Amino acid sequence: MDFEVRKLEGKIGAEIIGLDLDGELDASTIKSLNDVWLEFAILLFRGIGTSNERHLRLSSCFGELEVHPIESLRMKGFPEIIYLAQKKGDRDQMTFYFDGDPIVGRIPFHTDMIYTPTPNRGSLLRMVEKPTVGGETAWIDTAAAYDALDDEVKTRIANLEARYLFVTNLEEMRFGKEGKIELGNYGSVEYPVFPDVAQPLVWTHPESGRKSLCLSTVQLIDMVGMPREEGDPILASLVEHTLSGRFTYQHDWEVGDMMLWDNWRTMHTARGTPPGYDRVVHRTTMKGAHQTGRLL
Ligand SMILES: [Fe+2]
Sheet strands side by side (includes 279-286): 4-7, 14-17, 42-45, 258-262, 122-129, 279-286, 78-86, 74-75
- Residue 283, H or E segment: strand 279-286
Q: What is the pLDDT of residue 195?
A: 95
Q: Output the pLDDT for position 129.
A: 97
3-state class of 269 per DSSP? Answer: strand
Q: How far is the CA of 122 from the centre of ligand 1 (A)?
A: 10
101's enclosing H/E stretch is strand 101-104
DSSP 8-state secondary structure symbol assigned to residue 10: G
Cα of 17 from ligand 1 centre, angstroms: 25
Q: 268 C-alpha vs ligand 1 centroid, how far in Å? A: 6
The CATH class of the 4-287 domain is alpha beta
The rounded Å distance from CA 269 to ligand 1 centre is: 7
pLDDT reading at 174 higher than 90: yes
One-letter amino acid of 197: V
- Cα–Cα distance, 224 to 231 (Å, whole number): 8
* Alpha-helical regions (H) of the chain: 27-40, 52-59, 142-147, 151-157, 228-242
Burial of 192 (0-12, 13-18, 19+ CB in 10 A): exposed
Find the 110 Cα to ligand 1 centroid distance in Å. 6
The mean per-residue pLDDT over the stretch 10-33 comes to 92
The alpha carbon of 213 and the centre of ligand 1 are apart by a number of angstroms equal to: 17
The pLDDT tens digits of the residues spanning 138-156 come to 999 999 999 999 999 999 9
Q: Which of 283, 259, 287 is nearest to 82 (CA)?
A: 283
Q: How far, in Å, from the CA of 136 to the mean position of ligand 1?
A: 13
Distance 188 CA to ligand 1 centre (A): 19
The tens digit of pLDDT for each residue in 235-282 reads 999 999 999 999 999 999 999 999 999 999 999 999 999 999 999 999
Cα 263 to ligand 1 centre (Å): 9
Dist. CA 275 → ligand 1 center (Å): 20
Rounded distance between C-alpha atoms, residue 202 and residue 148, angstroms: 13
pLDDT digits (tens, 9 = 90+) for 31-66: 999 999 999 999 999 999 999 999 999 999 999 999
Residue with the bigger pLDDT between 120 and 185: it is 120
pLDDT of residue 20: 93
pTM of the predicted structure, to 2 decimals: 0.96
Residue 187's closest CA among 104, 281, 292, 68?
Answer: 104
Q: What is the mean pLDDT of the chain?
A: 94
pLDDT of residue 179: 92
Torsion, Cα 121 10 139 230, to 10 degrees, reads: 100
Supply the pLDDT for residue 68: 83
pLDDT at 16: 98
Whether pLDDT at 187 is above 90? no
Give the separation between CA 273 and CA 268, rounded to whole angstroms: 16
**Paired sense of beta strands 211-213 and 248-251, if any:** unpaired
**235 C-alpha to ligand 1 centroid (Å):** 21
Residue-wise pLDDT tens digits, 113-132: 999 999 999 999 999 999 99
On whether the CB atoms of residues 283 and 75 are closer than 8 A, the answer is no
24: exposed, middle or buried (C-beta count within 10 Å: 0-12, 13-18, 19+)? exposed
Report CA(250)–ligand 1 centroid distance (Å): 14
C-alpha 152 to ligand 1 mean position (Å): 31
Q: How many whole angstroms from 27 Cα to the centroid of ligand 1?
A: 29
Tell me: pLDDT of 189 over 80: no
How many angstroms separate the alpha carbon of residue 115 from the centre of ligand 1?
Answer: 12
Using the mean position of ligand 1's atoms as its centre, give its distance from the Cα of residue 271 in Å.
Answer: 11
